[in-house]
Amino acid sequence: MLQRAEEILQSYYGYPSFRDGQKEIISSLLAGHDTVGIMPTGGGKSICYQVPALTMEGITLVISPLISLMKDQVDALHAMGISAIEINSSLSVSELQERMYNASTGLYKLLYIAPERLESERFQSLLRDIPVSMIAVDEAHCVSSWGHDFRPSYLAISRFIESLPSRPLVTAFTATATPEVITDIRTLLGLVNEQVYITGFERDNLRLQVRRGENKNKFVSEYIRSHSDQAGIIYASTRKEVDSLQEQLVEAGIEATKYHAGLSEIERKTNQDAFLFDDARVMVATNAFGMGIDKSNVRYVIHYNMPKNMEAYYQEAGRAGRDGDVSECILLFHPQDIQTQKFFIEQGEQSQDRKELEYKKLYTMNDYCRTSRCLMQYIVEYFGDTTCKECGECSNCTNHAELVDITVEAQKIFSCVKRMRERFGSALIAQVLKGSKNKKVLQFGFDKLPTYGIMDQCTEREIVDLIQLLIAEGYMNITESQYPIVMLGERAANVLRGEEKVWQKVTLKAAPQEVNDELFDHLKMLRKRIAGQEGLPPYVIFHDKTIKELSSLCPKDKASMLQIKGVGEAKFEKYGEAFLTAIHEYEERNKERESSYN
């Protein structure tokens, strides 16, 4: 049985072998067990149900939370020569009937639907004539109110399964599951004698970083600029922040688009497509963006703010590097982010118990931002896996940065905070240290303080950054109010007395980017052209990784091209010749160039 699955993997997907976890999950399904698969984002969950679906008689229903993104999955299947279709609310009655009729004739192996559908009687009756062999529930954590994306309509799934004439096999997948969530998935989906497989949560191609006390806007625009040929997502907490950051990037000449719940449906769709189709390199978004986004070549995810909990963070950050290539996940931490998240919790209408749970999760997230331990290890342990070794690659593992003694600066700041009687925010403190003639400074008579102007060699922004750093490192605290007030902590007193020194880690410049490969760029252009003609996102044609292999191995014929990961029979039929020709022409041109130099 597994051998047949391996043949399918090779011939349709062009992959030589299953990954860890995939083999176990697929074997379990082929043996007829309900199966839960918990795998990190990008771990390859889709293949776990798609491949068995192809070996089974009848159709597999895939329940997926976001209608707009099903099309993406279906397109990717079509490109590989697999027949699949999605049913969504935009279909007319006759289209719906046609698709259901085709399904009843066995035309499709996979049918993608949103959970809301299951509650429609009309849909249920249309489905009565269709032999359903398996139900795959994607993003299964949505069934749990303990999770972070609770969808009440997921609760209808088990009732729906019971209503079918014969019970199909049921399988469920998610990337983020704490023990409570796993229990909910098992019970609320009504699984029977299920097998549960949890593969490691570690993603060894992700380079995690936490940066404290950064000037965020400056950091983001410089980062984007120095990664100019790469796609990335910037997550911010609020719509307002998304709007202003995106505007600012566009003004700076960066092709950035945006996504949040305040935009119209059409705007969201247009912007999302621009990003998926590589027309806009950068997506600035709230957490409304991304569930089910399968764009495989996202090279970085920057969190402009700290998210509300580790589940949300790892899921969002995990959208980087789904193709397995090295990708960066950077969290820009500012103590104010905690206030923002507390505000969201307070505004929420949950029970007090629930709020307390959210606070607890928030504090764990906060600890992640301040820990000096391996970040990957920290995350993986949070999800209950204690076997992960230090990654050696995250910002804590690699922080051999130079330590700079900033005790004197810290003393100046602490002393100024004290003289201002610990009643003001960082902006005013910085103005006093800078020696500003701002109205408020003069009005309070702060220009008479001995600390007035003692840091006039710095910019106000630099002083504010230093204040943030001292807060993040625990020397000072801020109040939990709308306009947070900076106050001294115990350690600040030690510093003022000269008993403790303050060090700042000055991180060395980021490693230079890899050199640009001309053929790689060339093949990427070809891919974009084909994608444009077919109305598909480029990564559906071939993943970046496949293009990279094509450009380094330069296959000369069908046999050698099929050796490359991500090239299956169907894809070769469609695109093989175009790529072989492009590689051939490139090599010929190069020969000419070389001979003209000789």
Report the interface residues with ligand ADP, using CB under 6 A: 15, 18-19, 22, 39, 41-47, 294, 296, 322-323, 543, 565
126: partner contacted, choices ligand ADP, Zn ion, Mg ion, none (Cβ within 5-8 A by kind): none
- Contact residues for Zn ion, defined by CB under 5 A: 374, 376, 391, 394, 397
Distance, CA of 266 to CA of 288 (rounded, Å):
15
Unique residue bearing structure tokens 């009504």: 190
397: partner contacted, choices Mg ion, Zn ion, ligand ADP, none (Cβ within 5-8 A by kind): Zn ion
Residue number of the CB closest to ligand ADP reads: 44
The smaller minimum CB distance to ligand ADP, of residues 39 and 550, is found at 39
47: partner contacted, choices Zn ion, Mg ion, ligand ADP, none (Cβ within 5-8 A by kind): ligand ADP
* Nearest distance in Å: CB 231, Zn ion: 24
The smaller minimum CB distance to ligand ADP, of residues 60 and 451, is found at 60
The smaller minimum CB distance to ligand ADP, of residues 47 and 429, is found at 47
Buried b or exposed e, range 242-280, using 16+ CB within 10 angstroms: bbebbeebbeeebebbbbbeebeeeebeebbbbbbbbbb
3-state secondary structure of 311: helix
Instruction: Name the token pair of 479.
Output: 């109040």
* Nearest distance in Å: CB 482, ligand ADP: 39
Rg (CA), the chain: 27
527: partner contacted, choices ligand ADP, Zn ion, Mg ion, none (Cβ within 5-8 A by kind): none
State the DSSP code for 19: P
Looking at this protein, which amino acid is placed at residue 132? V
Distance, CA of 47 to CA of 52 (rounded, Å):
8
Q: What are phi and psi of 398, to 5 degrees?
A: -100, 10
374: partner contacted, choices Mg ion, ligand ADP, Zn ion, none (Cβ within 5-8 A by kind): Zn ion
* Nearest distance in Å: CB 48, Mg ion: 10
The smaller minimum CB distance to Zn ion, of residues 66 and 397, is found at 397
Instruction: Name the token pair of 129.
Output: 């004539």
543: partner contacted, choices Zn ion, Mg ion, ligand ADP, none (Cβ within 5-8 A by kind): ligand ADP
412: partner contacted, choices ligand ADP, Mg ion, Zn ion, none (Cβ within 5-8 A by kind): none
The smaller minimum CB distance to ligand ADP, of residues 241 and 323, is found at 323
The smaller minimum CB distance to Zn ion, of residues 326 and 525, is found at 326
Distance, CA of 413 to CA of 489 (rounded, Å):
13
* Nearest distance in Å: CB 237, ligand ADP: 24
The smaller minimum CB distance to Zn ion, of residues 30 and 210, is found at 210
The smaller minimum CB distance to Mg ion, of residues 50 and 468, is found at 50
- Going by their DSSP bridges, the two strands 402-405 and 503-506 should be labelled as antiparallel
Distance, CA of 19 to CA of 21 (rounded, Å):
6
* Nearest distance in Å: CB 324, ligand ADP: 7
DSSP 513-578: PPPPPHHHHHHHHHHHHHHHHHT--HHHH--HHHHHHHHHH---SHHHHHTSTT--HHHIIIIIHH
Looking at this protein, which amino acid is placed at residue 184? D
39: partner contacted, choices Zn ion, Mg ion, ligand ADP, none (Cβ within 5-8 A by kind): ligand ADP
- Contact residues for Mg ion, defined by CB under 5 A: 45
Do the Cβ atoms of 407 and 201 come closer than 8 Å?
no
* Nearest distance in Å: CB 201, ligand ADP: 12
Q: For the packed helices 336-347 and 352-370, what is the interaxial angle rounded to 10 degrees?
A: 170
The smaller minimum CB distance to ligand ADP, of residues 75 and 323, is found at 323
Give residues with Cβ within 8 angstroms of 539, minimum separation 6. Answer: 276, 294, 295, 296, 297, 323
* Nearest distance in Å: CB 510, Zn ion: 17
* Nearest distance in Å: CB 173, Mg ion: 7
Question: How far, CA to CA in Å, does 531 sit from each of 76, 85, 86, 216, 524?
Answer: 12, 20, 20, 35, 10
The smaller minimum CB distance to ligand ADP, of residues 200 and 453, is found at 200
* Nearest distance in Å: CB 142, Mg ion: 12
Helices (H), 189-284: 216-226, 239-251, 265-276
* Nearest distance in Å: CB 286, ligand ADP: 20
